[in-house]
Chains A and B, each alone.
Chain A
Amino acid sequence: DQQVKQNSPSLSVQEGRISILNCDYTNSMFDYFLWYKKYPAEGPTFLISISSIKDKNEDGRFTVFLNKSAKHLSLHIVPSQPGDSAVYFCAASGHSGTYKYIFGTGTRLKVLA
């Protein structure tokens, strides 16, 4: 049973527009969430994280929003750039400090020039 779900396997966005990637989770004990980005033939790299005590965390063009009541988080990329084209994985952990992450299946983002 997938505890972390990314229901959109792919997404295409025009350069300069906003990209919104979504992630849902089922376990209410999760309290730390991360996004990783993965280019072909490379390992995933950390992008941004958020603790459950917050509902928003921003880093440059990347913002993660957390809605605990809906068990939903989203990653916004504004403005989108062709170099953002990659697979994005959402991950969650049971409590801050644990090292066991549950990853989603990923969303492939394609930013069109």
Chain B
Amino acid sequence: DAGVIQSPRHEVTEMGQEVTLRCKPISGHDYLFWYRQTMMRGLELLIYFNNNVPIDDSGMPEDRFSAKMPNASFSTLKIQPSEPRDSAVYFCASSARLGDGGNEQFFGPGTRLTVL
């Protein structure tokens, strides 16, 4: 298995532009997570899905952020409009249901977003 795949790996955009980050989870995993990493706050959970349904989006910073999972093999995180304070590394992770190897989450390589 190729692991969790994220694209793009790097994104540089200007304030006010729309940004879309993409994720392909590991095949067979029922859970998908979006995290944001910053120096000040470490790894923050933004939202997670179970069987393509959003379960907890309490970490989404504000309405400018939205996430979708149209099918079991694809998810997007969209920021519209983007702001400089959104600059961070965004990780996608996936996990099997409890009992299939436990609670371990497998992370993708991340997307480094820079908003100018």
Q: Which of B42, B48, B109 contacts A42 (CB 8 A)?
A: B109
> B41-91: which residues lie under 8 A (CB-CB) from chain A?
41-45, 48, 50, 55-56, 91
By the criterion CB–CB under 8 Å, are B109 and A101 in contact?
Answer: no
**In the complex the two chains form, is A97's CB within 8 Å of B42's CB?**
no
- Given A32-B103, A99-B33, A100-B48, are A43 and B4 neighbors across the interface (CB < 8 Å)? yes
Interface size on B, residues (CB 8 A): 28
Residues on A with beta carbons closer than 8 Å to the beta carbon of B4? 43
**Any B CB within 8 A of the CB of A67:** no
Residue A30 interfacial (CB < 8 Å): no
B107 x A45 contact (CB < 8 A): yes
- Contact B110–A43 (Cβ < 8 Å): yes
What is the bound-complex CA distance between A43 and B37, given in angstroms? 10
Residues A99 and B42 in contact, CB atoms below 8 Å apart: no
CB-contacts of B77-116 with A (<8 A):
91, 93, 95, 98, 102-110
Do A43 and B42 touch across chains, with their CB atoms under 8 A apart? no
A selection of 25 A-B contacts at a CB cut-off of 8 Å is: A2-B41, A6-B42, A34-B104, A44-B43, A44-B91, A45-B107, A46-B104, A46-B105, A49-B102, A49-B104, A89-B43, A91-B43, A99-B31, A99-B33, A99-B48, A99-B55, A99-B95, A99-B105, A100-B48, A100-B56, A102-B45, A103-B42, A103-B45, A104-B42, A105-B39
Which chain A residues border B95 with CB–CB below 8 Å?
Answer: 99
A residues near B (Cβ < 8 Å) are: 2, 6, 32, 34, 36, 41-46, 49, 89, 91, 93, 96-106
Bound-complex Cα distance A98 to B105 (A):
12
B4 to chain A, nearest CB (A): 7
